[in-house]
Chains A and B, each alone.
Chain A
Amino acid sequence: MKKLLVLSAFAAMLASGTALADTSGKKIAFSNNYAGNSWRQAMLDSYAIVTKKAVDDKIVAAADVFTTADKEVPTQAAQVQNLILQGYDAIVINAASPDALNGAIKQACDAGIVVVSFDGIVTEPCAYRVVVDFKDMGKQEVEQMAKFQPKGGNLLEIRGLAGTSIDEAIHAGILEGVSAHPEFKIVGSVTGDWDQTTAQKAVATILPSLPDIVGVVDQGGDGYGAAQAFAAAGKPRPTIIMGNRQDELKWWKEQKEKDGYKTWSASIAPGVSTLAFWVAQQVLDGRKDIPHDLLVPYLAFTQDDFEAALPKIKEGGVATHEYTQEEAIAAIKANIKQ
């Protein structure tokens, strides 16, 4: 492990050229606005695992997590301001609002603090943004669907939380995919809020009014609920795109064992929080070449590899991927090339 560390430190030096700044005295805070679902819990778990090791290895001095009591913007703005006062060198943030925190973010930047946002990103130009290519994910769902249903047919779309940038991006990608594959037609759309129960209710309500459905395109966290709704209505089981949740992959496995059911699964890995952490560490390390907008791939599983991932996911959890420092540096490098 030590060797790996030396290697990674070496790699970091190489990648950054002149950066020799030591981050072992730096403190990084994580401002989080919500911890109430399985995805956020997995995000915090991943973050804790990676940062604890980074602190033990003396890469950074401290990596503390702060979660606000409510999902409110002013509470998180106040929290960021308090983190400035605490003297942190960097703030990793999953923000309650893309715009309304900009005032506090700007104050942090002005105080010389590095701000890295992910998942719930902030638009303030001085901050870094780790963004998952949700639009491509939506497009890829239709591409994959075309493999499983080569004849095409009617699709049902399940949307996420209304008004969020993520829902908009995935939806736009799905529309793009459908226009590239005219054999598919979206005949119905419901709001599932990335939640199995909500999705199940919504799908069950719309099903009787729909023609035969060959596939369901969704946003993750809603695939299992959709499957339940189809089963309850006695309708034939369509190809449902999954979203890396444990219950979804488990259902997939059961269906595969029964009759070779095929589908595809993709979602943003909660461990992207750890990538944001390493980006902050790299910026503190003195790297000046990191673009402020970093695009990272989503985490996808295919027919061949999902069963291997399933046992590693906690009951009721989400598949994740924790970034090591080398992987983070590689991800940054991939963005510099673009």
Chain B
Amino acid sequence: MTAIAPGTVPKASPRGSAARARMLRGLLPALSLALVLLAIAWLNPRAISYFGFNLMLNLAIPIALATIAQMFVIAGNELDLSIGTFVGFVGCVTATWLRDAPLIGILVLIGSIGVYALLGALIHLRNLPSIVVTLGMSFVWQGLAILILPKPGGKAPEWLLSIMSFKPPYVPFPILAALLIAAVVHFGLMRTSYGVILRGSGGNAAALRRAGWSLLKTKIVLFALTGLFGVLSGMALIGITTSADANIGNGYTLLSIAGVILGGGEFVGGRVSPIGAVIGALTLALAASPLLTFMHIPPDWQVAANGAILIIVLAARVLISRRER
């Protein structure tokens, strides 16, 4: 991720070691993904195939989208504790209204992105802690989801089902989707000038304000983008599961935060990496389920082992970023 040519920096200088650490940090998400993949290949060679990747990774797409959503708020030094229940809410809308009355469904989904934008404005104008506001919103989304779908059920629209079960030649769909998501967001956030402003609002808000940029606007845009990717995540999830449940996304809140951090992001300072976040989400999805299933751990220990794997993967990331300081 750094552009320093090898050999031009003396090894002993603190700058050089920081640069190497930064490069290591950039490579770490990819490295941990490769490690998890190697472990899976060793435990169950059958999984490393077109069919296998399709099965192992298709549920990683909604996680990757939710992680990107979380990444946008984290870029603005905020945290979204409602993304999980929001994904569940979107899922319920997708499995009911979007199928039966597409127009209402689309309006509700766009409206929910609008709600996210308003939340961004509220948090900025009243200077509220985002954790409190989004925690409150998580109950609102959950309540709305139960109102729409009191009992599990509903069905995904046909077009969504066919998108999510698309089988391109040679490369499994989840991998294509992950590449696409990473490329689009990377370009938007890292390569455009407004992307720099967005990240800057988390990095140095005071400087941005003095330069004449509206912090209100950046916050609204960041939250709206979170809403947008939350909607995409919920729709992708329902496209895979085929029907919805009001509690379907609850686990995504913490997974998405872990994904951002694993992917090289920081809670403060506007330091995030879209490519890292997508890789982080894939790693988490693979480490939490396939790896665990293939290891044949006794049932009493499985739940604890799941946590242990997450901690090990995240700890490696923290060790390296500490060296950087």
Interface set of A (CB-CB < 8 Å, partner B): 32, 35, 44, 64-75, 77-79, 81-87, 96-104, 106-107, 163, 165
Cβ of B14: which chain A residues have Cβ within 8 Å of it? none
| Contact residue among A44, A69, A102 (Cβ-Cβ distance under 8 Å from B241) | A102
Contact A83 B293 (CB under 8 A): yes
Interface residues of B in 101-125 (CB under 8 A from A): none
With a 10 A CB-CB cut-off, give which of B244, B250, B251, B252 has the most chain A CB atoms.
B251
Contact B290 A82 (CB under 8 A): yes
Q: Give every chain B residue within 8 A of A72 (Cβ-Cβ).
A: 247-248, 250-251
Q: Given A35-B303, A85-B46, A163-B146 in contact, is the A73-B241 Cβ separation under 8 Å?
A: yes
- Minimal beta-carbon separation of B307 from chain A (angstroms): 7
- Whether the Cβ atoms of A77 and B59 lie closer than 8 Å is yes
Convert B55-84 into 0s and 1s, putting 1 for each residue whose CB lies closer than 8 angstroms to a CB of A: 110110011000000000000000000000
Q: B165 → chain A, closest Cβ, in Å? A: 9
Q: Which of B5-13, B149-157, B313-321 contacts A (4 or more CB under 8 A)?
A: B149-157
B303 / chain A contacts, CB cutoff of 8 Å: 35, 67-69
Report A-chain residues with C-beta under 8 Å of the C-beta of B289. 75, 78-79, 82
Q: Is the CB of B245 within 8 A of A99?
A: yes
A97 near B152: Cβ-Cβ < 8 Å:
yes
B134 at the interface (CB under 8 A from A): no
> Does B30 touch A at the CB level, under 8 Å?
no
Query: Which single residue of chain B is at the shortest CB-CB distance from A107?
Result: B55
Residues of B contacting A165 in the complex (Cβ-Cβ under 8 angstroms): 151
A183 to chain B, nearest CB (A): 33
- Let me know if A78 and B243 touch, CB within 8 A: no
Can you name the residue of chain B whose Cβ is closest to the Cβ of A96? Answer: B245
- B244 and A100 within 8 A (CB): yes
| Chain B interface category by residue count | 35 or more
Q: Does B47 touch A at the CB level, under 8 Å?
A: yes
CA of A96 to CA of B152, assembled, Å: 10
Distance, CA A163 to CA B151, complexed state (A): 6
Task: List 4 extra interface pairs beyond A82-B55, A82-B293, A99-B242, CB under 8 A.
Answer: A78-B56, A81-B55, A86-B46, A99-B244
In the complex, A107 Cα to B63 Cα: how many Å?
A: 20
On chain A, the residues within 8 Å of B249 by CB distance are 74
- Min Cβ gap B81→A in Å is 16
| Chain B residues in 8 Å Cβ range of A70 | 251
**CB-nearest residue of chain B to A31:** B293
Smallest CB separation, B229 vs chain A (Å): 17
Chain A min CB distance to B12 (Å)? 45
The listed residue (B151, B241, B246, B290) touching A77 by CB distance below 8 A is B241
Question: B17 on the interface (CB 8 Å rule)?
Answer: no
Distance of B299 from chain A, by nearest CB (Å): 4
* Contact sample, A vs B, 5 pairs, CB 8 Å cutoff: A35-B299, A69-B306, A74-B248, A97-B245, A98-B153
Which of the residues B62, B153, B294, B306 comes within 8 Å of A99, measured between beta carbons? B153
Docked pose: A44 CA to B302 CA in angstroms: 14
Check if A67 sits within 8 Å of B302, measured CB to CB: yes
Tell me the bound Cα distance from A85 to B59 in angstroms. Answer: 14
B98 within 8 A of A: no
**Do B299 and A99 touch across chains, with their CB atoms under 8 A apart?**
no
Does A69 lie within 8 Å of B248, measured CB to CB? no
Are B245 and A69 in touch, CB under 8 angstroms? no
Which single residue of chain B is at the shortest CB-CB distance from A103?
B242
Residues in A whose Cβ lies below 8 Å from that of B52: 85
Let me know if B237 is at the binding interface, CB within 8 A: yes
Contact A85 B47 (CB under 8 A): yes
Contact B240 A66 (CB under 8 A): no
Q: Does residue B325 face the partner (Cβ distance < 8 Å to A)?
A: no
Q: Is the CB of A75 within 8 A of B251?
A: yes
Q: At the interface, yes or no: B33 with Cβ under 8 Å from chain A?
A: no
A74 touching B306, Cβ below 8 Å = no
Contacting pair A102 B245 (CB below 8 A)? no
Contacts A78-B290, A79-B293, A86-B44; is A101 near B241 (CB within 8 Å)?
Answer: yes
Asked if B296 is at the interface (CB within 8 A of a chain A CB), the reply is: yes
B186: min CB distance to chain A, Å: 25
A163: chain B residues at CB < 8 Å are: 146, 150-151, 246
Complex Cα gap A96–B251 (Å): 13
B240 cross-chain contacts in A, Cβ below 8 A = 77, 103
Q: Let me know if A74 and B244 touch, CB within 8 A.
A: no
Would B241 and A74 count as touching, CB distance under 8 A?
Answer: yes
Q: Give B151 Cβ to nearest chain A Cβ, in Å.
A: 6
Q: Which residue of A lies closest to B239 (CB)?
A: A103
Once the chains are docked, how many angstroms separate the CA of A163 from the CA of B240? 23
**9 tightest Cβ-Cβ pairs between the two chains A and B:** A69-B306, A82-B293, A99-B243, A72-B251, A100-B245, A78-B289, A103-B242, A81-B55, A65-B299
Which B residues lie within 8 Å of A77 (CB)?
59, 240-241
